[in-house]
Amino acid sequence: MLRRTFLAVLAQSKPRMNVLLIGVDDLRPELGCYGAKHIHSPNIDALASRGTVFTKAYCQQAVCSPSRTSLLTGLRPDTTKIYDLQHHFRGTIPDAVTLPEYFKNNGYTSTGLGKLFHGGLDDAPSWTIPWWGPNMRYDWNSAESRSRAQRIHEQLKAKNWTIEPTGSPAGTRGPSWQSVESNEDELPDNRTTAQAITALKELKGKPFFLGVGFAKPHLPFIAPKRFFDLYPLRKVEMPDYPEPPTGAPSFAGTNSGELRSYGDIGNGPISSEKARELVRAYYACTSYTDENIGKILNELDRQGLRDNTMVVLFGDHGWHLNNHGNWNKHTNYEKATNSLLIASMPGQKQRGATCDRLVEFIDIYPSFAEGAGLPAPAKVQGTSFVPLLNNPTAKGKPVALSQYPRTYEKQQLMGYSVRDERFRYTEWRKRDTKEVIARELYDYKEDPQESANRATRPELQSQIKTMSDHIDRLTAPSPQ
């Protein structure tokens, strides 16, 4: 009670805190501020120097829509019932209050640009000013944008909040990467950046929630040539553990189907030359997005808004670059679930810090609320990480939970994966009976490359029991 009273007084005595949420599609935590000296990311690194880098941040499911839905509702996938790219959460939890909607309900102007919710699944109730996407050939906050947002909303509702599947057969798309030498301003992410700069100018002087989503480095890897030039092909180093973990179930990995839908990939082995091209192109897109993020943060400074704006940057999940022979996301392995998260909040006691405590994407929602001095949001399943911004070594969560569905031998499975400070434990359960058909355990102290499944070792059975209990606790029926 005393803490809530203090936050309420704080909110009344100071200008209201703005929110800038920046999301990046498929950007894994491989940046300068994470120790990756081979990556050119000066703007994200500068943001990190003013905030906190979370090294053990985890998404709830390593694929776009389920991850973003969890982040923006503060709810786990088993509560939202969103496990794919086709269904909208309003069809399963119609009364949920999203993160931007929560701020809208508390007197903020909320608006979103670019990819925030998954493509085609925007949420009209979340926004004071309707969402804008880079395929819209008109300006932010236009009457046409408002009309289109309402039309999409009504169409989804009429179709029971479902869109058509978006998968493509192998080899049916264009090339997996492209270096662009002209017309940079017409690239979708450049258009999103321009709209974000306009929005910051227009929103200045009123409390706002601004969400900005970038598409790259999502496939296809398209970026201006100058970013490819940062990474000479001969100098690109490949991951040093391309083999699947020994003893892992065959269905734990992915067939990399998303990558294989591109015409220069297809089915069959991916050559070492092509793999090196892909890694280089991914890095080029990473640096391209870094520049766009820098433009927005520079505008935040020009408008005098930095000292009164909370900034959180996230990558919606990790990404495999041939790790364990996998490409894309779509697994419960560390490279898919460990995600980019950097937070910078005015007044935080430590800046330029690295925090190794466990956090989850469902924690972003309550963290913004606490940082703004607003009442704790009802029903969210995350916990605020604001205390870690003030003291990065403070006590954190015991585990972070991720999950991924699989079909194996006509059985519908759910892989529940918990990560603690040292181990990752995964149970593959039948979705109807909850029977466990496979287990994985990885020890990152002894095996940082996750090369061997240790779930059968007798000396680790106590650890497995503890982590299995965490899965039961975190997947228990929700009071929602």
Within a domain: residue 257? Answer: yes
Given a contact cutoff of 8 angstroms between Cβ atoms, the answer to whether 307 and 207 are in contact is: no
What distance in Å separates the CA atoms of residue 109 and residue 209, rounded to the nearest whole number? 6
Give pLDDT tens digits along the chain (480 positions).
445 544 444 444 567 999 999 999 999 999 999 999 999 999 999 999 999 999 999 999 999 999 999 999 999 999 999 999 999 999 999 999 999 999 999 999 999 999 999 999 999 999 999 999 999 888 999 999 889 888 989 999 999 999 988 778 888 899 999 999 989 999 999 999 999 999 999 999 999 999 999 999 999 999 999 999 999 999 999 877 889 999 999 999 999 999 999 999 989 899 999 999 999 999 999 999 999 999 999 999 999 999 999 999 999 999 999 999 999 999 999 999 999 999 999 999 999 999 999 999 999 999 999 999 999 999 999 999 999 999 999 999 999 999 999 999 999 999 999 999 999 999 999 999 999 999 999 999 999 999 999 999 999 999 999 999 999 999 987 654
Within a domain: residue 12? Answer: no
Domain that holds residue 443: 401-474
What distance in Å separates the CA atoms of residue 207 and residue 210, rounded to the nearest whole number? 10
Please confirm whether the linkage preceding 169 is cis (ω < 30° from 0).
no
Question: Both 426 and 292 in a single domain?
Answer: no
Looking at 375, 397, 419, the residue that finishes a domain is 397
Within a domain: residue 6? Answer: no
Residue of 33, 64, 285, 355 marked active site: 64
Alpha helices in 303-413 (DSSP H): 334-337, 364-371, 386-390
Question: Both 273 and 323 in a single domain?
Answer: yes
The total number of structural domains that make up the chain: 2
Looking at 397, 429, 464, the residue that finishes a domain is 397
Within a domain: residue 122? Answer: yes
Question: Both 443 and 295 in a single domain?
Answer: no
Question: Both 244 and 295 in a single domain?
Answer: yes
Within a domain: residue 9? Answer: no
Four-residue CA torsion sign, 325, 329, 335, 340: positive
Question: Both 393 and 423 in a single domain?
Answer: no
What distance in Å separates the CA atoms of residue 155 and residue 337, rounded to the nearest whole number? 32
Question: Both 284 and 412 in a single domain?
Answer: no
Question: Both 323 and 466 in a single domain?
Answer: no
Question: Both 321 and 450 in a single domain?
Answer: no
The domain that holds 255 is classified in CATH as 3.40.720.10
Question: Both 53 and 187 in a single domain?
Answer: yes
Predicted local confidence at residue 189, as pLDDT: 98
Within a domain: residue 1? Answer: no
Within a domain: residue 7? Answer: no
Predicted local confidence at residue 14, as pLDDT: 65
User: Looking up tokens 């949920």, which residue turns up?
Assistant: 96
Residue 64 annotated to the active site: yes
Strands (E), 306-369: 309-315, 320-323, 326-328, 341-344, 353-360
What distance in Å separates the CA atoms of residue 269 and residue 173, rounded to the nearest whole number? 18
Predicted local confidence at residue 478, as pLDDT: 61
Given a contact cutoff of 8 angstroms between Cβ atoms, the answer to whether 293 and 214 are in contact is: yes
What distance in Å separates the CA atoms of residue 358 and residue 58, rounded to the nearest whole number? 8
- Identify which of 22, 136, 153 has the alpha carbon closest to the alpha carbon of residue 88: 153
The domain that holds 460 is classified in CATH as 3.30.1120
Question: Both 317 and 443 in a single domain?
Answer: no
Residue of 118, 317, 324, 330 marked active site: 118
Predicted local confidence at residue 2, as pLDDT: 45
Four-residue CA torsion sign, 224, 229, 232, 237: negative
Cα torsion for 122, 301, 40, 224, to the nearest 10°? 60
- Identify which of 430, 242, 466 has the alpha carbon closest to the alpha carbon of residue 333: 242
Residue 355 annotated to the active site: no
- Identify which of 96, 141, 138, 142 has the alpha carbon closest to the alpha carbon of residue 117: 96
Predicted local confidence at residue 127, as pLDDT: 97
Looking at 362, 377, 397, the residue that finishes a domain is 397
